[in-house]
Amino acid sequence: MIIGIDLGTTNSLAAYYTEDGPKIIPNRLGKNLTPSVVSVDEEGQVFIGETAKERMLLHPDSSAAVFKRSMGSEKIFELSGKKFLPEELSALILKALKEDAECFLQEEVTEAVISVPAYFNDERRKATKRAGELAGLKVERIISEPTAAAIAYGLYQNRENGKFLVFDLGGGTFDVSILELFDSIIEVRAVAGDNFLGGEDFTKVIEQIFYERNPDIEKDRLTAKELRHITKQAENCKIGFGEKRVSKMTCTLGESAYEMSLSIDEYEAKCDELLDKIRQPIKRSLSDANVRLKDIDRIVMVGGATKLSFIRKFVGKLFHNLPDTSINPDEAVALGAAVQGAMKERRDSIKEVILTDVCPFTLGTEVVLEKENGRFEDGHFCPIIERNTTIPASRTERLYTVNDNQTQIRCKVLQGESRFASNNVLLGEIRTYVPKGEAGREAVDVTYTYDVNSILEVEIKVVSTGEITKQIIKTNATDMTPEEIKERMEALSYLKIHPRDKEENKLLLLRGERLYEESIGKERMQIEYVLREFEKALDTRDEAVIEGARRDFKEFLEEFTE
């Protein structure tokens, strides 16, 4: 079976396809969302998801979150002495989702369609694919999140042709995609976005307001644990706006308790700068697609951050069109990825749809330009496949020698939008030899071919000799050979992942410990008592006793936090 996975910045989830349509796969705690958090304790025990998120509040230095923003980079996360690349942390999340799916479906899961932000570049997409491989999955396809969302909303089942805009504001990234429906074809016309704009940034606004309202708090003197506690309470305050126009934030720092009330209007005003950042990708995508605001027939909202009422209001005002929020914004992408997996399996019960995607960034090479004084200036960027070109795509550019008796031409493969080569991302380099001759006499045809799985093939053909050099461009920094992937998979498999059957007990203990640290006086003593009682029950190893104690402990925690 092929499952669909939404590997998110804040939360991740998986889905599968049934005769009744796509369904979310619950995790080991019976919940649809698995927080994208990894934590490692002093004994090397690895915690993933909600348990790791709870542990992060107590042990922030040995926990990692929001690592999706670093995908494709060489950034190292060190957790209790163990070092991880972002893709390796993502692999642990994917492995947990795979195990949960196998437990729920009662069958082995070996293949997946994994979603990525539409604006992820080549390196980030390849890193995501490697994460899947490290988790023991064959990644059938990397699909853009807005395209997956469009499938989930059933745009292809709509009888009327039209243009749609998918507004995807997740925990850490923002995408806007313009799609056009024609019969059974969904064509992505343009994508734009910001890989460093999402719900996390809207949480930081509340944190900043909290510090402004409490000038006696010296942020630089707070511990990592206290900073994480403030972030957690700011997140709760933000979530509170889902039901009311005034939300409260309460923090306990040492012996001091702080409380803040915040109105939705004041919060919205403070988010003006973030809303301005949202406008830019929207304008860019409309311009690239050559589409006007009034030409958009339907707007689809995706991503957890779109639950904020003023975000929906902002989009409605901008487009003069009420956005569609009929599907849970947290789940739309995973559901769409599951449908795409079913399409790959050629399920009879699903209507076949042709999806066309686009290249999110311009691909080109470095060239030398002749100036007015006859001198040459290097370091310029020559676009070969422009951004938002429908893929698969193949484009050719003819380049000439610039020096007499030049014997080789160096082709730097670049990705980006700057007119200067040094400002763009270097993906690779190819050298090819040419016969000696006068400057400008010898030429090469450089052909870039980019496919739906973000694989770029570069071909250089010497015009005079017909000699051809081909190369599949792979990411330089973090690319791994199949042998290295196998070796790293084995290394990751030896990590002591916390047992599934003890997950809920550990989560409740961590939650109790956190509430104990946040409380003072009689409340603290009360929490300590129930913690000890639950620990006593665990020590009995009697499942019936543990089950009853767990139920009581859980009810206590729920009542305490109301």
Joined tokens for residue 535: 């620990």
Joined tokens for residue 185: 């074809």
Please check whether the two domains, 2-198+273-358 and 363-464, share a CATH topology: no
- In DSSP terms, 25 is beta-bridged to 14
Please write the tens of the pLDDT for every residue from 69-91.
999 888 999 999 999 999 999 99
Q: Which amino acid is at 34?
A: T
pTM of the model: 0.82
- Residue 481 confidence (pLDDT) above 90: no
Please write the tens of the pLDDT for every residue from 339-360.
989 888 877 667 666 777 888 8
pLDDT (0 to 100) of residue 3: 97
Binned at pLDDT 50, 70 and 90, residue 478 comes out as very low
Cα–Cα dist 121/450, whole Å: 13
Per-residue pLDDT, averaged over 164-183, amounts to 89
| Higher-pLDDT residue of 481, 21 | 21
Is the Cβ–Cβ distance between 425 and 123 less than 8 Å? yes
Cα–Cα dist 434/466, whole Å: 10
- Residue 326 confidence (pLDDT) above 80: yes
Binned at pLDDT 50, 70 and 90, residue 562 comes out as low
Q: CATH 2.60.34.10: does it fit domain 363-464?
A: yes
Please write the tens of the pLDDT for every residue from 32-59.
999 999 999 988 899 999 999 999 999 9
User: Among 16-30, 184-198, 251-265, 475-489, which is the least confidently predicted range?
Assistant: 475-489
Look over the chain and give the mean of its residue pLDDT values, rounded to a whole number. 89
Binned at pLDDT 50, 70 and 90, residue 22 comes out as very high
pLDDT (0 to 100) of residue 476: 40
Cα–Cα dist 465/350, whole Å: 51
C-alpha closest to that of 33 among 47, 53, 17, 62: 53
Q: What angle do CA 305, 7, 272 make, to 5 degrees?
A: 20
pLDDT (0 to 100) of residue 16: 96
pLDDT (0 to 100) of residue 169: 95
Domain ranges of the chain: 2-198+273-358, 363-464, 500-560
- Residue 415 confidence (pLDDT) above 80: yes
Phi first, then psi: give them for residue 446, nearest 5 degrees.
-100, 120
pLDDT (0 to 100) of residue 500: 66
- Residue 104 confidence (pLDDT) above 90: yes
Q: CATH 3.30.420.40: does it fit domain 2-198+273-358?
A: yes
pLDDT (0 to 100) of residue 477: 41
Cα–Cα dist 213/258, whole Å: 10
Cα–Cα dist 384/379, whole Å: 16
Phi first, then psi: give them for residue 222, nearest 5 degrees.
-80, 150
